[in-house]
Amino acid sequence: MAIPRTPGGRDQALDRVLTLALLAGCLAVAAAAGLPRLAPRVEAPAAVQPDLTVHVHGEIVRPGTYALPWGARVADLVEVAGGLTADADPGLVTAAAVLTDGRTVVVPGRRAPEGEIGRVDVNTASERLLTTLPGIGPVTARRMIDGRPYHALEDLLRVPGIGPARLEALRPRVTL
């Protein structure tokens, strides 16, 4: 069988191979020219959160204002402030409560007379301390803890067992 030749005498098969090679080369150059240049990857530094500032007073060795890292708990604050005094009632301190910026923590004493403890912080108080409030028993205290955090005293109305009348009775005795 004879191989067909072009008018110039070349093989058609050779022409096809050369055409395909030339086409492949052109495509490679076009593809390389169209690719974006790879820049080195630069990662932004992690956002640094400033410390939160909290104040502690009451039956604490070194009352004052402290800067603690975000996520710190009342136990961390007590440790930084030198611990509880001998007159402190640790059962009224919720050591596991997470602190928030601008918070004031009052550490009550065992023998503190009525009215000297100050307002009860509904976001950090223990169940035992909450039950010292008028009309709050263990069940409602547990519901109050489960409903945290509160951003306004009116948020307590979400707690089953606390209605408008009870909120008004609590208002002078509680804080956020």
Alpha-carbon distance 129 to 74, whole Å?
15
Residues 17-31 pLDDT 10s: 778 777 777 677 766
Residues 41-78 pLDDT 10s: 656 555 566 789 999 988 899 999 999 999 999 999 99
Least confident of 23-27, 109-113, 131-135, 162-166: 109-113
Residues 102-126 pLDDT 10s: 888 888 877 544 444 578 889 888 8
Q: Look up residue 138 and give its amino acid.
A: P
Instruction: Answer yes or no: is 127 within a domain.
Output: yes
Instruction: Answer yes or no: is 80 within a domain.
Output: yes
Q: What is the pTM of this model?
A: 0.42
Do residues 86 and 138 share a domain? no
The CATH number of the domain where 154 resides is what?
Answer: 1.10.150.320
Instruction: Answer yes or no: is 159 within a domain.
Output: yes
Host domain of residue 62: 50-109
Least confident of 68-72, 88-92, 169-173: 88-92
Residue 122 zone, left/alpha/beta (φ > 0; ψ -120 to 50; rest): alpha
Domains identified in the chain, total number: 2
Last residue of a domain, one of 60, 92, 109: 109
Instruction: Answer yes or no: is 43 within a domain.
Output: no
- Sequence-ordered strand ranges (E) for 12-103: 52-58, 64-68
Instruction: Answer yes or no: is 105 within a domain.
Output: yes
